[in-house]
Structure 1
Amino acid sequence: MSDREIVLVRHGRPASENNDRLSSSGFARWVKNYNRCDLHPDSQPHCQRDFTNHYIISSALHRARLSAHRYTGEPVAESNSLFNEMEIPRYRLPVRLNAWTWVYLNRAMWIAGRGGPFESFSQARRRIEKACDLLVERATTHQSVVLFAHAMTNRFLCRYLTRRGWQVIEKDHRYWGVIVLRKRAQQH
Protein backbone atom coordinates (compact mmCIF):
# COMPACT_ATOMS: atom_id res chain seq x y z
CA MET A 1 0.00 0.00 0.00
CA SER A 2 1.39 3.42 -0.89
CA ASP A 3 1.32 6.66 1.07
CA ARG A 4 -1.94 8.52 1.55
CA GLU A 5 -2.40 12.23 0.80
CA ILE A 6 -4.85 14.87 1.95
CA VAL A 7 -4.78 18.26 0.26
CA LEU A 8 -6.63 21.19 1.84
CA VAL A 9 -7.36 24.09 -0.53
CA ARG A 10 -8.75 27.39 0.67
CA HIS A 11 -11.55 28.75 -1.51
CA GLY A 12 -10.98 31.59 -3.96
CA ARG A 13 -11.67 35.24 -3.20
CA PRO A 14 -15.41 35.88 -2.76
CA ALA A 15 -17.08 38.50 -4.95
CA SER A 16 -18.60 40.25 -1.93
CA GLU A 17 -15.37 40.59 0.01
CA ASN A 18 -14.97 44.24 0.85
CA ASN A 19 -13.78 46.12 3.88
CA ASP A 20 -16.50 48.76 4.24
CA ARG A 21 -17.09 50.54 7.54
CA LEU A 22 -20.17 48.93 9.13
CA SER A 23 -22.41 48.95 12.18
CA SER A 24 -23.06 45.61 13.89
CA SER A 25 -26.26 45.11 11.86
CA GLY A 26 -24.38 46.01 8.68
CA PHE A 27 -21.73 43.46 9.61
CA ALA A 28 -24.42 40.77 10.10
CA ARG A 29 -25.57 41.46 6.51
CA TRP A 30 -21.93 41.39 5.33
CA VAL A 31 -21.47 37.89 6.83
CA LYS A 32 -24.72 36.65 5.26
CA ASN A 33 -23.62 37.96 1.83
CA TYR A 34 -20.10 36.58 2.29
CA ASN A 35 -21.51 33.10 2.94
CA ARG A 36 -23.77 33.16 -0.15
CA CYS A 37 -21.74 35.03 -2.74
CA ASP A 38 -20.09 33.84 -5.93
CA LEU A 39 -16.35 33.94 -6.49
CA HIS A 40 -14.78 37.17 -7.69
CA PRO A 41 -14.49 36.89 -11.50
CA ASP A 42 -10.75 37.65 -11.34
CA SER A 43 -10.03 35.12 -8.59
CA GLN A 44 -7.87 32.33 -10.03
CA PRO A 45 -5.55 29.76 -8.39
CA HIS A 46 -1.89 30.84 -7.99
CA CYS A 47 -0.73 27.63 -9.62
CA GLN A 48 -2.75 24.84 -11.14
CA ARG A 49 -2.25 21.34 -9.76
CA ASP A 50 -3.50 18.12 -11.18
CA PHE A 51 -6.10 16.56 -8.89
CA THR A 52 -7.28 14.02 -11.47
CA ASN A 53 -6.49 11.11 -9.16
CA HIS A 54 -7.91 12.75 -6.04
CA TYR A 55 -11.34 12.27 -4.52
CA ILE A 56 -12.81 15.81 -4.57
CA ILE A 57 -14.68 17.07 -1.50
CA SER A 58 -15.93 20.54 -0.59
CA SER A 59 -17.69 22.26 2.23
CA ALA A 60 -21.39 22.88 1.66
CA LEU A 61 -20.83 26.63 1.35
CA HIS A 62 -21.29 28.08 -2.13
CA ARG A 63 -17.81 29.63 -2.45
CA ALA A 64 -16.11 26.30 -1.66
CA ARG A 65 -18.18 24.33 -4.19
CA LEU A 66 -17.54 27.01 -6.84
CA SER A 67 -13.82 26.99 -6.02
CA ALA A 68 -13.62 23.21 -6.42
CA HIS A 69 -15.25 23.39 -9.83
CA ARG A 70 -13.17 26.41 -10.97
CA TYR A 71 -9.97 24.71 -9.85
CA THR A 72 -10.55 21.16 -11.11
CA GLY A 73 -13.17 21.56 -13.84
CA GLU A 74 -14.75 18.46 -12.32
CA PRO A 75 -17.88 17.98 -10.25
CA VAL A 76 -17.44 17.60 -6.51
CA ALA A 77 -17.75 13.97 -5.46
CA GLU A 78 -18.94 14.95 -1.99
CA SER A 79 -20.09 18.16 -0.31
CA ASN A 80 -20.49 18.16 3.46
CA SER A 81 -21.38 20.87 6.00
CA LEU A 82 -18.88 19.37 8.49
CA PHE A 83 -16.26 21.20 6.39
CA ASN A 84 -18.04 24.58 6.48
CA GLU A 85 -16.10 27.55 7.83
CA MET A 86 -15.85 27.92 11.56
CA GLU A 87 -18.41 30.49 12.61
CA ILE A 88 -17.97 34.19 11.95
CA PRO A 89 -19.80 35.38 15.10
CA ARG A 90 -21.83 38.56 15.11
CA TYR A 91 -21.93 40.43 18.41
CA ARG A 92 -23.91 43.62 18.78
CA LEU A 93 -21.50 46.40 19.68
CA PRO A 94 -22.29 50.14 19.51
CA VAL A 95 -19.44 50.94 17.09
CA ARG A 96 -18.75 51.23 13.37
CA LEU A 97 -15.75 49.22 12.20
CA ASN A 98 -14.27 47.96 8.95
CA ALA A 99 -15.66 44.53 8.02
CA TRP A 100 -12.39 42.66 8.60
CA THR A 101 -11.87 44.40 11.94
CA TRP A 102 -15.34 43.09 12.88
CA VAL A 103 -14.27 39.58 11.81
CA TYR A 104 -11.10 39.59 13.95
CA LEU A 105 -12.69 41.29 16.98
CA ASN A 106 -15.74 39.02 16.96
CA ARG A 107 -13.65 35.90 16.45
CA ALA A 108 -11.36 36.89 19.34
CA MET A 109 -14.38 37.24 21.67
CA TRP A 110 -15.79 33.98 20.31
CA ILE A 111 -12.53 32.07 20.89
CA ALA A 112 -12.37 33.55 24.40
CA GLY A 113 -15.72 31.88 25.11
CA ARG A 114 -18.37 34.53 24.54
CA GLY A 115 -21.58 32.84 23.43
CA GLY A 116 -24.28 33.92 21.07
CA PRO A 117 -27.06 32.63 18.81
CA PHE A 118 -24.59 30.65 16.69
CA GLU A 119 -22.19 27.71 16.90
CA SER A 120 -19.82 28.13 19.85
CA PHE A 121 -16.07 27.81 19.45
CA SER A 122 -16.05 24.49 21.33
CA GLN A 123 -18.91 23.19 19.13
CA ALA A 124 -16.98 24.29 16.02
CA ARG A 125 -13.84 22.47 17.20
CA ARG A 126 -15.87 19.28 17.81
CA ARG A 127 -17.41 19.60 14.33
CA ILE A 128 -13.96 19.99 12.76
CA GLU A 129 -12.73 16.91 14.66
CA LYS A 130 -15.63 14.95 13.10
CA ALA A 131 -14.66 16.44 9.73
CA CYS A 132 -11.11 15.22 10.36
CA ASP A 133 -12.42 11.70 11.03
CA LEU A 134 -14.33 11.81 7.74
CA LEU A 135 -11.28 13.06 5.81
CA VAL A 136 -9.09 10.29 7.21
CA GLU A 137 -11.78 7.75 6.33
CA ARG A 138 -11.95 9.08 2.75
CA ALA A 139 -8.14 9.03 2.44
CA THR A 140 -8.17 5.41 3.58
CA THR A 141 -10.72 4.51 0.91
CA HIS A 142 -9.45 6.75 -1.93
CA GLN A 143 -5.75 7.19 -0.96
CA SER A 144 -5.65 10.80 -2.30
CA VAL A 145 -8.24 13.38 -1.28
CA VAL A 146 -8.55 17.10 -2.00
CA LEU A 147 -10.85 19.24 0.14
CA PHE A 148 -11.96 22.75 -0.86
CA ALA A 149 -12.83 24.54 2.36
CA HIS A 150 -12.00 27.63 4.43
CA ALA A 151 -9.18 29.35 6.29
CA MET A 152 -9.95 28.51 9.93
CA THR A 153 -11.41 25.12 9.08
CA ASN A 154 -8.24 24.20 7.18
CA ARG A 155 -6.01 25.44 10.02
CA PHE A 156 -7.82 23.26 12.56
CA LEU A 157 -7.98 20.28 10.19
CA CYS A 158 -4.23 20.60 9.67
CA ARG A 159 -3.68 20.72 13.45
CA TYR A 160 -5.85 17.65 14.08
CA LEU A 161 -4.31 15.69 11.20
CA THR A 162 -0.74 16.32 12.42
CA ARG A 163 -1.77 15.08 15.88
CA ARG A 164 -2.80 11.86 14.14
CA GLY A 165 0.57 11.40 12.49
CA TRP A 166 0.05 13.20 9.18
CA GLN A 167 3.06 15.20 8.00
CA VAL A 168 2.70 18.69 6.53
CA ILE A 169 4.60 18.83 3.23
CA GLU A 170 3.45 22.26 2.10
CA LYS A 171 1.39 25.05 3.67
CA ASP A 172 -0.20 28.22 2.24
CA HIS A 173 -3.21 29.91 3.90
CA ARG A 174 -3.98 32.56 1.23
CA TYR A 175 -7.01 32.38 -1.07
CA TRP A 176 -6.42 29.29 -3.24
CA GLY A 177 -3.65 28.31 -0.79
CA VAL A 178 -2.78 24.63 -0.60
CA ILE A 179 -1.86 22.56 2.44
CA VAL A 180 -0.49 19.13 1.56
CA LEU A 181 -0.38 16.40 4.21
CA ARG A 182 0.91 12.86 3.77
CA LYS A 183 0.95 9.74 5.86
CA ARG A 184 3.03 6.66 5.24
CA ALA A 185 1.18 3.44 4.74
CA GLN A 186 1.46 0.98 7.60
CA GLN A 187 4.09 -1.70 6.96
CA HIS A 188 3.06 -5.23 7.87
Structure 2
Amino acid sequence: MRIVIMRHGRPELDLDALKKQKFSSLKLGEIVEQYEQSALEKSQTIPHSSLAISQSCQFALSSDLPRAIGSIEKLGLKEIHETDAVFRESPLPYFNWSWPFLSFFTWAVALRVLWLFGFATNGESIKTARARAQTGAGKLHQYATEHGSVFLLGHGIMNRLIAKELSSKGWKKVESNGENYWSYSVYERL
Protein backbone atom coordinates (compact mmCIF):
# COMPACT_ATOMS: atom_id res chain seq x y z
CA MET A 1 0.00 0.00 0.00
CA ARG A 2 1.16 3.51 -0.77
CA ILE A 3 0.16 7.04 0.28
CA VAL A 4 1.49 10.15 -1.46
CA ILE A 5 1.10 13.47 0.36
CA MET A 6 1.72 16.63 -1.69
CA ARG A 7 1.61 20.32 -0.87
CA HIS A 8 -0.57 22.47 -3.12
CA GLY A 9 0.80 24.68 -5.89
CA ARG A 10 1.57 28.39 -5.57
CA PRO A 11 -1.60 30.39 -4.78
CA GLU A 12 -2.49 33.75 -6.30
CA LEU A 13 -1.77 35.35 -2.92
CA ASP A 14 1.80 34.19 -2.40
CA LEU A 15 2.84 34.70 1.22
CA ASP A 16 6.53 34.36 0.30
CA ALA A 17 6.31 37.77 -1.37
CA LEU A 18 5.14 39.28 1.95
CA LYS A 19 7.80 37.81 4.24
CA LYS A 20 9.75 41.04 4.74
CA GLN A 21 6.81 43.46 4.83
CA LYS A 22 5.73 44.69 8.26
CA PHE A 23 2.21 44.31 9.65
CA SER A 24 0.34 44.32 12.91
CA SER A 25 -0.91 40.96 14.12
CA LEU A 26 -4.47 42.02 13.29
CA LYS A 27 -3.51 42.88 9.69
CA LEU A 28 -1.62 39.60 9.42
CA GLY A 29 -4.84 37.83 10.41
CA GLU A 30 -6.71 39.57 7.58
CA ILE A 31 -4.02 38.51 5.09
CA VAL A 32 -4.10 34.90 6.30
CA GLU A 33 -7.90 34.84 5.92
CA GLN A 34 -7.52 36.12 2.33
CA TYR A 35 -4.85 33.48 1.71
CA GLU A 36 -7.20 30.72 2.87
CA GLN A 37 -9.61 31.65 0.06
CA SER A 38 -6.93 32.32 -2.55
CA ALA A 39 -7.15 30.36 -5.80
CA LEU A 40 -4.24 28.64 -7.50
CA GLU A 41 -1.96 30.89 -9.58
CA LYS A 42 -2.72 29.68 -13.11
CA SER A 43 0.54 30.24 -15.05
CA GLN A 44 2.84 28.04 -12.95
CA THR A 45 4.45 24.86 -14.22
CA ILE A 46 4.17 21.64 -12.24
CA PRO A 47 7.46 19.76 -11.75
CA HIS A 48 7.48 16.59 -13.84
CA SER A 49 8.14 14.35 -10.82
CA SER A 50 5.11 15.81 -8.99
CA LEU A 51 2.86 15.30 -11.99
CA ALA A 52 4.07 11.72 -12.49
CA ILE A 53 3.71 10.65 -8.85
CA SER A 54 0.23 12.16 -8.55
CA GLN A 55 -0.99 10.32 -11.64
CA SER A 56 0.42 7.01 -10.42
CA CYS A 57 -2.20 6.79 -7.64
CA GLN A 58 -5.60 5.13 -7.92
CA PHE A 59 -7.55 7.64 -5.81
CA ALA A 60 -7.08 11.30 -4.87
CA LEU A 61 -8.20 13.41 -1.92
CA SER A 62 -7.75 17.09 -1.16
CA SER A 63 -8.84 19.75 1.25
CA ASP A 64 -11.79 21.84 0.18
CA LEU A 65 -9.81 25.08 -0.03
CA PRO A 66 -9.58 26.72 -3.48
CA ARG A 67 -5.79 26.40 -3.85
CA ALA A 68 -6.00 22.65 -3.17
CA ILE A 69 -8.91 22.05 -5.54
CA GLY A 70 -7.16 24.14 -8.22
CA SER A 71 -4.01 22.06 -7.74
CA ILE A 72 -5.97 18.81 -8.18
CA GLU A 73 -7.49 20.17 -11.39
CA LYS A 74 -4.09 21.29 -12.71
CA LEU A 75 -2.73 17.79 -12.00
CA GLY A 76 -5.59 16.29 -14.03
CA LEU A 77 -7.03 14.30 -11.12
CA LYS A 78 -10.55 15.73 -10.96
CA GLU A 79 -12.19 12.45 -12.08
CA ILE A 80 -10.79 10.34 -9.22
CA HIS A 81 -11.01 13.05 -6.61
CA GLU A 82 -12.85 13.69 -3.36
CA THR A 83 -12.62 16.82 -1.19
CA ASP A 84 -12.74 16.81 2.59
CA ALA A 85 -12.45 19.70 5.07
CA VAL A 86 -10.50 17.44 7.44
CA PHE A 87 -7.44 18.05 5.22
CA ARG A 88 -7.61 21.88 5.45
CA GLU A 89 -4.62 23.78 6.77
CA SER A 90 -4.68 24.57 10.46
CA PRO A 91 -5.31 28.33 10.48
CA LEU A 92 -2.55 30.49 11.90
CA PRO A 93 -3.77 32.04 15.17
CA TYR A 94 -3.20 35.74 15.73
CA PHE A 95 -3.63 38.49 18.31
CA ASN A 96 -6.21 41.24 17.88
CA TRP A 97 -3.42 43.81 18.17
CA SER A 98 -2.91 46.77 15.87
CA TRP A 99 0.64 47.18 17.22
CA PRO A 100 3.58 46.27 17.07
CA PHE A 101 4.50 46.08 13.40
CA LEU A 102 6.71 43.08 12.67
CA SER A 103 7.68 41.32 9.48
CA PHE A 104 5.23 38.75 8.18
CA PHE A 105 7.93 36.11 8.64
CA THR A 106 8.53 37.09 12.29
CA TRP A 107 4.82 37.03 13.11
CA ALA A 108 4.29 33.72 11.31
CA VAL A 109 7.15 31.99 13.14
CA ALA A 110 6.28 33.47 16.55
CA LEU A 111 2.58 32.70 16.24
CA ARG A 112 3.16 29.14 15.03
CA VAL A 113 5.57 28.50 17.93
CA LEU A 114 2.99 29.92 20.36
CA TRP A 115 0.42 27.66 18.68
CA LEU A 116 2.59 24.64 19.49
CA PHE A 117 2.26 25.67 23.16
CA GLY A 118 -1.52 26.09 23.01
CA PHE A 119 -2.18 29.59 21.65
CA ALA A 120 -5.29 29.46 19.44
CA THR A 121 -6.90 32.93 19.39
CA ASN A 122 -8.65 33.42 16.03
CA GLY A 123 -7.42 30.00 14.92
CA GLU A 124 -7.59 26.30 15.74
CA SER A 125 -5.95 24.71 18.77
CA ILE A 126 -3.13 22.27 18.21
CA LYS A 127 -5.22 19.66 20.04
CA THR A 128 -8.03 20.05 17.50
CA ALA A 129 -5.56 20.06 14.59
CA ARG A 130 -3.96 16.84 15.85
CA ALA A 131 -7.39 15.22 16.17
CA ARG A 132 -8.16 16.23 12.56
CA ALA A 133 -4.79 14.85 11.47
CA GLN A 134 -5.60 11.55 13.18
CA THR A 135 -8.95 11.43 11.35
CA GLY A 136 -7.25 12.34 8.06
CA ALA A 137 -4.58 9.66 8.50
CA GLY A 138 -7.32 7.13 9.19
CA LYS A 139 -9.10 8.09 5.97
CA LEU A 140 -5.87 7.83 3.98
CA HIS A 141 -5.20 4.39 5.46
CA GLN A 142 -8.75 3.28 4.62
CA TYR A 143 -8.52 4.48 1.01
CA ALA A 144 -5.05 2.96 0.58
CA THR A 145 -6.46 -0.35 1.79
CA GLU A 146 -9.36 -0.10 -0.69
CA HIS A 147 -7.45 1.26 -3.70
CA GLY A 148 -3.82 0.22 -3.15
CA SER A 149 -2.54 3.77 -3.57
CA VAL A 150 -3.96 7.12 -2.54
CA PHE A 151 -2.89 10.71 -3.21
CA LEU A 152 -3.51 13.64 -0.84
CA LEU A 153 -3.22 17.22 -2.04
CA GLY A 154 -2.93 19.15 1.20
CA HIS A 155 -1.19 21.94 3.08
CA GLY A 156 2.14 22.33 4.87
CA ILE A 157 1.32 22.11 8.58
CA MET A 158 -1.57 19.66 8.25
CA ASN A 159 0.50 17.44 5.94
CA ARG A 160 3.20 17.27 8.64
CA LEU A 161 0.67 16.40 11.33
CA ILE A 162 -0.88 13.69 9.14
CA ALA A 163 2.58 12.30 8.31
CA LYS A 164 3.34 12.03 12.02
CA GLU A 165 0.09 10.09 12.54
CA LEU A 166 0.87 7.77 9.63
CA SER A 167 4.35 7.08 11.02
CA SER A 168 2.85 6.21 14.41
CA LYS A 169 0.60 3.68 12.64
CA GLY A 170 3.50 1.88 10.97
CA TRP A 171 3.72 3.75 7.66
CA LYS A 172 7.30 4.42 6.52
CA LYS A 173 8.43 7.47 4.58
CA VAL A 174 10.31 6.10 1.57
CA GLU A 175 10.69 9.27 -0.50
CA SER A 176 10.48 13.03 -0.02
CA ASN A 177 11.49 16.01 -2.14
CA GLY A 178 11.07 18.88 0.34
CA GLU A 179 8.29 21.13 1.58
CA ASN A 180 7.89 23.71 -1.19
CA TYR A 181 4.89 24.10 -3.48
CA TRP A 182 4.22 20.84 -5.37
CA SER A 183 6.61 18.89 -3.09
CA TYR A 184 5.60 15.45 -1.87
CA SER A 185 6.39 12.57 0.44
CA VAL A 186 5.65 8.91 -0.19
CA TYR A 187 4.67 6.48 2.57
CA GLU A 188 4.47 2.71 2.26
CA ARG A 189 3.19 -0.08 4.41
CA LEU A 190 3.39 -3.80 3.74
Shared fold per TM-score greater than 0.5: yes
Distance 1:117 1:72 in 2: 35
In the TM superposition, 1:97-176 aligns within 5 A as: 97-171=102-176, 172-176=178-182
Q: Which amino acid aligns with 2:170?
A: G
Is residue 71 of structure 1 aligned with residue 109 of structure 2?
no
Shift of 1:73: 5.0
Partner deviation per Cα, 1:65-88 (whole Å, 9 max, x = no partner): 111111235345210011001221
Distance 2:94 2:75 in 1: 31
Name the residue aligned to 2:3. Answer: 6
SS of 1:49's equivalent in the other structure is: helix
Aligned CA RMSD, in angstroms, stands at 1.7
TM-score normalised to structure 1 length: 0.89
Q: How many residues align?
A: 181
| Percent identity for Structure 1 against Structure 2 | 28
For structure 2, the residue ranges without an aligned partner over 5 or more in a row are none
Out of 133, 158, 183, the position equivalent to 1:177 is 183
Distance 2:103 2:76 in 1: 34
Distance 2:24 2:56 in 1: 45
Name the residue aligned to 1:35. Answer: 36
2:13, 2:35 within 8 Å by CA — same for their partners in 1?
yes
Higher helix fraction: Structure 1 or Structure 2?
2
For structure 1, the residue ranges without an aligned partner over 5 or more in a row are none
